[in-house]
Amino acid sequence: MTERDDLVTRLGEAMDNGEFEMFFQPEFNAEGKPVAVESLIRWRHPERGLIPPVVFLAICEDSGLILPLGHWILGEACAYHFRLVEAGWPGVTVSVNMSTAQFEDPGMVDYLRKLVSEFAIPAGALELEMSERTVMHNPNRSVEILSAVRALGVGVAISEFGTGYSSMSTLHRVPADKIKIDRSVVRGVHEDGNNAAICRSIISLAHGKDLVVIAEGVELSEEHAWLRANGCDGVQGYLFARPAPFDDMLRGLGSLPA
């Protein structure tokens, strides 16, 4: 049996065994206050330890496990909203990453509507995040889906933005609330003229559409300084916080004792 075959077999058992867990990485506004936490799934394999999503999500998509896993993640995100409220962060949004298969699943919006109703999720407390690639896979259908999502009071963030797809036309066509500039464009923005020009264009056009702009993958203080000086609304990256379990994330925000 190959390693992949073994993972496929074990993935089918992992949900029943409670081996998946959520990590969280905050987003901060220009004043340094947390405005959102991105939920990131990890697999706590009993023999291999903590496995990152890059190893198993593609297998989940190929095997059809991505849809039940995606439903579980959405439910967890709703539950963690209330844990944020209890911890004193009622205004912080919980963001959920969506794969292309999840996003285009015909039952996704209905399931989301069910969760919003059952959990009584207030408007703005939950956000769906999908890549520009996912949105542009079927632009017309994406507009329909995202309009329905926003009608539920759930925010929309387009991530990995500026990576070569029809970025500027995306801004004009797709109903969204937030743009997250891809880390490849943010990297070295303070000294890379090409990246700087791309970031300025994205920030300007996004603000013209009343969209919030977050820079992903910020690792250097020089990058952060440039982004603030050029009007970027917020940042996310290892410079500020790495993905961590919920309580560890709260300690990083100063909400729990060390």
- If phi > 0 it is left, if psi is from -120 to 50 it is alpha, else beta; for residue 188 that is left
Position 254 scores a pLDDT of: 82
Position 258 scores a pLDDT of 45
- Provide the pLDDT confidence category of residue 168 given band limits of 50, 70 and 90: confident
Q: pLDDT-derived band of residue 113, with 50, 70 and 90 as boundaries?
A: very high
Looking at residue 167, its pLDDT comes to 63
The predicted-structure confidence for 183-203, as pLDDT tens digits, reads as follows 999 999 999 999 999 999 999
pLDDT of residue 229: 98
> Given this model, what pLDDT does residue 14 score?
86
Domains in the chain: boundaries: 3-248
Q: What is the dihedral of CA 230, 89, 83, 132, to 10 degrees?
A: -20
Name the least confident of 3-7, 76-80, 160-164: 3-7
Residue 29 in tokens: 């506004």
What pLDDT score was predicted for residue 45?
Answer: 87
Annotate the chain with three-state secondary structure: CCHHHHHHHHHHHHCCCCCEEEEEEEEEECCCCEEEEEEEEEEEECCCEEECHHHHHHHHHHHCCHHHHHHHHHHHHHHHHHHHHHCCCCCCEEEEECCHHHHHCCCHHHHHHHHHHHHCCCCCCEEEEEEHHHHHHCHHHHHHHHHHHHHCCCEEEEEEECCCCCHHHHHHHCCCCEEEECHHHHCCCCCCHHHHHHHHHHHHHHHHCCCEEEECCCCCHHHHHHHHHCCCCEECCCCCCCCEEHHHHHHHHCCCCC
Please determine, for residue 9, whether its predicted confidence score (pLDDT) is greater than 90: no
Q: Do 128 and 98 form a contact (C-beta atoms < 8 A)?
A: yes
* CA dist., res. 150 & res. 109, Å (int): 10
Structure tokens at 202: 């994205």
Say whether pTM exceeds 0.85: yes
Residue 253 has pLDDT above 70, yes or no: yes
Strands 93-97 and 34-45: parallel
Whether residue 55 has pLDDT greater than 90? no
Per-residue pLDDT for 28 more than 60? yes
Instruction: Give the pLDDT band (50/70/90) at residue 169.
Output: confident
Query: Is 180 exposed, middle or buried (CB count within 10 Å of its CB: 0-12, 13-18, 19+)?
Result: buried
Average pLDDT over every residue of 61-78: 91
Query: What pLDDT is recorded for position 166?
Result: 61
Task: Give pLDDT, residue 114.
Answer: 98
- Mean pLDDT, the chain, integer: 91
Give the bridge partners for 48, in sequence order: none
For domain 3-248, say whether CATH 3.20.20.450 is its number.
yes
